[in-house]
């Protein structure tokens, strides 16, 4: 049996029945006592209390006993962290509801301590116009319980030939622009895009892979791909793309975020750019910090991802970059698929991992292995990605939105794909023993997930 410490609840002054989910407006104030609070923004990493309501965080630290709250939670033995901000999660709606929907993936995110996601523009249709941005945002708002931020398309229909309506997308609420996984083959278009994005104050999210060098490959260029006869993607594909975009940053001063680094050489280029104080940042997908190209052996389609899994040396360099802060965010790169998407020959399967529900446990594993200090690891899930998104979340301070997660860091469990809340059960971590479970998630002061109450 996995350990889940009991959580005691009291009404103000007397025993009360446990509330249903979500917490009603009549019990909007919540006092969480005796938690181990981890807040990278303030450096707090120790015991404390927090008082929240639907207007935001009211107090953090040692909240006076006389403070009135509609609900009191004793969180002794549990960690309290800001709500996780996921820089890349595909919910497949609109256009691919056979794979997932906002309803299913929102529930999976809430159960994973995620309170904010950035949605890439490669929905069907593409988010390249304000009308489409409004349509997707409306679907998200109807589901509720999760802050969904849109990344608008950099070029029309992601074809790389003409700029999308960047100003109109910003006015419609886009927090950044990207060409998703599609290349921008025209260098002049890429430079103009950065000029426009800089003028609008938008961050450009770049998937750094030279399409010509990648040549449709599906595995890392090395002995495993050679032995299996798989078309490969060389390290040079990432390096060439990074050098190209960094040179444009030098010319334009535009802010660029590099998505899903996969190589040691890529880390070196980002580190060099940061040392020169260029306005760049980078993230990594959680699975890249644990898997290597050796896991592809046997044509394991669950390990078909883009960028491809690299060598153990690349994985270790990525971990070092997470620890040092060169990589300032870890994301899920959530791509749910139906079963059929992963049953063809390896090269014909669809790339991607259902990653929402393994994001936090994998990062906790880095802490357990002493790979990344606790405050830094939590920062890569909260403060770092929030800073890249520019949304002001990812911190626990009075006046901030009351987005937070209460977790049991020691709870042991084995991942069973069939029990994932996401509609996508495609995971390379099936059967893996993990530590850490989210017990409660709060979104703007309301409890949206509760694993404790029946």
What are the catalytic residues?
Answer: 333
Retrieve residue 354's tokens: 């259902």
DSSP character string of 345-395: -GGGSPP-B--HHHHHHHHHHHHHTTSS-HHHHHHHHTHHHHHHHT-S-S-
Per DSSP, what are the bridge partners of residue 32? 50, 73
How many angstroms separate the Cα of 77 from the Cα of each of 5, 34, 36, 51, 165?
7, 8, 7, 18, 50
Q: How far apart are CA 234 and CA 226, in angstroms?
A: 12
CB 158 within 8 A of CB 128: yes
How many angstroms separate the Cα of 52 from the Cα of each of 10, 144, 146, 395?
16, 19, 17, 13
CB 447 within 8 A of CB 22: yes
Q: How far apart are CA 359 and CA 355, in angstroms?
A: 6
């Amino acid at each position: 049996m996995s350990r889940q410490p009991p959580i005691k609840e009291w009404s103000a002054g007397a025993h009360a029945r446990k509330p249903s989910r979500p917490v009603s407006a009549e019990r909007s104030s919540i006092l969480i006592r005796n938690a181990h609070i981890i807040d990278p923004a303030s450096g707090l990493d120790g015991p404390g209390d927090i008082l929240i309501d639907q207007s935001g965080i009211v107090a953090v630290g040692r909240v006076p006993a006389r403070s009135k709250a509609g609900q009191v939670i004793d969180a002794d033995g549990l960690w309290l962290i800001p709500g996780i901000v996921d820089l890349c999660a595909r919910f497949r709606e609109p256009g691919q509801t056979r794979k997932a929907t906002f309803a299913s993936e929102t529930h999976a995110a809430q159960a994973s301590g995620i309170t904010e996601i950035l949605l890439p523009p490669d929905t069907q249709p593409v988010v390249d116009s304000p009308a489409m941005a409004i349509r997707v945002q409306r679907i998200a708002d109807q589901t509720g319980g999760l802050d969904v931020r849109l990344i608008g398309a950099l070029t029309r229909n992601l074809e790389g030939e003409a700029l999308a309506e960047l100003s109109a997308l910003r006015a419609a609420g886009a927090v950044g622009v990207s060409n998703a996984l599609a290349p921008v083959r025209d260098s002049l278009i890429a430079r103009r895009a950065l000029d426009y994005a800089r003028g609008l104050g938008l961050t450009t999210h770049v998937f750094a892979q030279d399409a010509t060098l990648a040549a449709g490959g599906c595995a890392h260029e090395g002995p495993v791909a050679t032995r299996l006869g798989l078309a490969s993607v060389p390290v040079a594909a990432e390096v060439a793309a990074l050098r190209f975009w960094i040179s444009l940053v030098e010319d334009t001063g535009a802010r660029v975020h590099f998505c899903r680094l996969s190589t040691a050489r890529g880390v070196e280029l980002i580190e060099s750019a940061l040392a020169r104080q260029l306005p760049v940042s980078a993230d990594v997908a959680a699975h890249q910090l644990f898997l290597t190209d050796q896991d592809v052996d046997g044509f394991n389609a669950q390990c078909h991802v883009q960028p491809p899994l690299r060598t153990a040396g690349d994985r270790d360099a990525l971990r070092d970059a997470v620890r040092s802060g060169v990589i300032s965010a870890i994301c899920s790169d959530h791509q749910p698929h139906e079963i059929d998407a992963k049953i063809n020959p390896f090269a014909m399967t669809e790339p991607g991992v259902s990653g929402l529900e393994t994001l936090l446990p994998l990062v906790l594993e880095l802490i357990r292995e002493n790979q990344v200090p606790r405050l830094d690891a939590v920062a890569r899930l909260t403060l770092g990605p929030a800073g890249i998104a520019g949304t002001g979340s990812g911190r626990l301070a009075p006046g901030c939105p009351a987005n937070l997660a209460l977790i049991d860091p020691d709870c042991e469990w084995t991942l069973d794909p069939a029990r994932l809340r996401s509609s996508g059960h495609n995971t390379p971590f099936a059967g893996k023993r993990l530590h850490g479970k989210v017990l409660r998630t709060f979104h703007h002061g309301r409890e949206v997930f509760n694993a404790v109450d029946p």
